[in-house]
Amino acid sequence: MTTMIDVDGSSATATPPSPQHPLSSLTAAEIESVRAVVQALPETTEWTRFAYVGLEEPPKGEVLGWERGELPLPERKARVQLLDLRSARSTDLVLSIGSGAVLRETVLDGTAGQLPILDAEFEEVGVIANADERWVAALAARGLTVDDVVLVPLSAGHYGYPAEEKRRILRTFAFQQFSPTDHPWAHPVDGLTAYIDVADRAVIEIIDTPGFEIPQTSGNFDDPELQGSPLTGLMPIQITQPEGSSFTVDGEEVSWGEWKLRISFDAREGLILRQLSFAGRPVLYRGSISEMIVPYADPAPNRFWQNYFDTGEYLFGRYTNELELGCDCVGDITYLDAVLADELGAPRVVRNGVCMHEEDFGTLWKHSDLFTGSSEVRRQRRLVISFFTTVGNYDYGFFWYLYLDGTIECEAKLTGILFTSAYPGAEEDGSPYPFASEVAPGLGAPYHQHLFSARLDMTVDGVANVVNEIDAVRLPISETNPYGNAFTKSVTPIASEKQSGRVADGAVNRVWQIASTEKATSLGQPTSYVLFPTETPTLMADPDASVSARAAFATKNLFVTKYDPAERYAAGDFVNQHPGGGGIPQFIEGDEPLIGEDVVLWHTFGLTHFPRNEDWPVMPMDYAKFTLKPYNFFERNPTLNVPAPASAHCAPGHGAHHHAEQDVHDHSGPAVPGHHGAHGHEAHGGHAARSHG
């Protein structure tokens, strides 16, 4: 049962959606049922932990057939991944929620990746390392005891070390902490790393490179003394919608303007947008962040292995923030709770995990006509659906924006604290250290990237689509172009999967068009959407590097595959300690044809970060995004019907161009169906509030 919280704090009972949709998020009751099934399995022990519990989604054809009334409601299934903390036995199950039957069981042998890392394993790293005499001695050589430091557990990657084969390995750095309120990121104990087998509870190797001083600068950004006197002169900004928001939420179904969609939440991918349609026409069947990689550039003996798959190794959806009105979110806000499973398999509710709200977004269209005297303006607005997750030192917000004109955007927002090192000083020739920035005295911040893979399961006017690469083309002076002013475009269909690896190129205005092969406008143009990338570097590591094999998706800005319900994650199902070649390389191996097919786009976007002083001790927000925009999807501007602004000054034909516009651009926010509040948003995503859980 979902409780909806209105702005006045009263509560009301919400009727659960009926009939149940096959793509609905797992409920608390379903998670309890899954737990009961697992507890009854003969392999389950007191050390069994739930690494992942999520919906095993029915194939698209079954869902669409059920919606047309041609097929029965698909069976509800759950995917469950189990780890025995002592034996390291790892299993991947698919269960029938209705019957409790185990429909599929795979036992991992560790050669093709491991299950994601559990919090229970993270918590053991400090205990294991601090009990090792070699580790204690290495700290003592630096004038430290185990009580002086905190340890940061980190994924190990894969480097072909025989001692790590088929073992669950974590690596750890130490950071000095002077008091419980001191932020240890300011004091890296550099040159010291422990490699730990968390199942055997043993340190298998220590890398000890002496000679680094521990930085003594302060990183206490929350200390009033470091903050200085509060900035004065900032007048209040109030964002109000006196008549409430313009969208409605029924369970996980959202309606806003011409848009209809479903939203759900997953422990691995976080917020998922489903079955987006505009004016009753399908556009996007499923959109999510299927993977992300944070590769670091420092080749030092203690740091070369640093690269983190925050989705596949850590399951960043688990670390979704509980958002607070007036702090994270400002305005007329609808929150949604996220229901997940904890590591004992019990339901866990992330209160206000997803945020939904509307934002004014400036001018939608405007013209003051020279001949007729007509002067009209319309305001753009967008629906924001978002969530925030904290993975160690970084905080990520993922914001999906829907616009009145049919545009879709996805924006990643990055803040938090830099992962730090000791700055080694200048090179022998006097040049600065080439792989890190010095952001405070003696404190380094290694260069790194944040690369996200958006999985975009497109259905532009149906499931028969083609992806075209469109480039601007400069034409030379010729008989047909005597003055040299002409330019045109080239349109290249991506015919098969192995041809699909493409790189953005701003010099030719490269975009990728997802076009229907069955539907056309009255002028004969295929109806389509266009993916506008942001041209930034792809993976900077050498093509032969370990991380390049493991994060092959990040070596290009685009891959296209034929829809397969088993292909959900860009780096494969089991990313942790995978040797490489999973995910996209496997998906395109069959080189399926792509023209007129049900296509999935895998789009890499992100940032390459050379840290600056202004990023310390806490980073101002940085941004990375992409846009999907209708292209001949409509016969004309689809926003001609948007009402004129209510202000009498902006009435049609009354010289609105003489009056100042107020453009409000608050770009932030998360959600799963949840809770409602007013006054407050930096946008986030989850479940809806008027609260649905």
Contacts of 345 (CB under 8 A, 6+ apart): 31, 34, 35, 38, 39, 50, 53
Catalytic residue flag (residue 310): yes
Distance between CA atoms of residues 645 and 651, nearest Å: 7
- Whether the ω angle into residue 19 lies within 30 degrees of 0, i.e. cis, is yes
> Within 13 Å of residue 140, how many CA atoms lie on the same side as its CB?
7
Contacts of 342 (CB under 8 A, 6+ apart): 50, 348
Q: How far apart are the first and last CA of the chain?
A: 8
Catalytic residue among 148, 190, 197, 310: 310
**Residue 662 and residue 362 in contact, taking contact as beta carbons nearer than 8 Å:** no
Number of H helices, E strands in the chain: 7, 35
Catalytic residue among 285, 296, 394, 401: 394
Query: How far does CA 645 lie from the centroid of its chain?
Result: 35
How would you class 536 by CB atoms within 10 Å of its CB: exposed for 0-12, middle for 13-18, buried for 19 or more?
middle
Contacts of 242 (CB under 8 A, 6+ apart): none
Distance between CA atoms of residues 647 and 168, nearest Å: 63
Distance between CA atoms of residues 620 and 418, nearest Å: 11
Place of tokens 């409430």: 244
Catalytic residue flag (residue 564): no
| Token pair of 358 as six digits | 């509307």
H or E element at residue 59: none
- For residue 320, the cross-strand partners are 389
**Residue 196 and residue 185 in contact, taking contact as beta carbons nearer than 8 Å:** no
Place of tokens 């480039």: 471
Which of left, alpha, beta for 88 (phi over 0: left; psi -120 to 50: alpha)? left
- Indicate the Cα dihedral angle 364, 368, 373, 377, nearest 10°: 20
Contacts of 206 (CB under 8 A, 6+ apart): 132, 134, 135, 138, 192, 193, 194, 195
Could you give the angle at the alpha carbon of 150 between the alpha carbons of 300 and 216, nearest 5°? 70
Specify the amino acid at residue 138.
Answer: A
Distance between CA atoms of residues 531 and 518, nearest Å: 20
- Characterize the bridge pairing of strands 669-671 and 683-686: parallel
* DSSP at 68: T
Distance between CA atoms of residues 638 and 191, nearest Å: 60
Contacts of 619 (CB under 8 A, 6+ apart): 414, 415, 416, 417, 418
For helices 133-140 and 119-130, the axis angle rounded to 10 degrees is: 70
Place of tokens 């089991």: 574
| Token pair of 118 as six digits | 């559990």
Residues with a known catalytic role: 310, 394
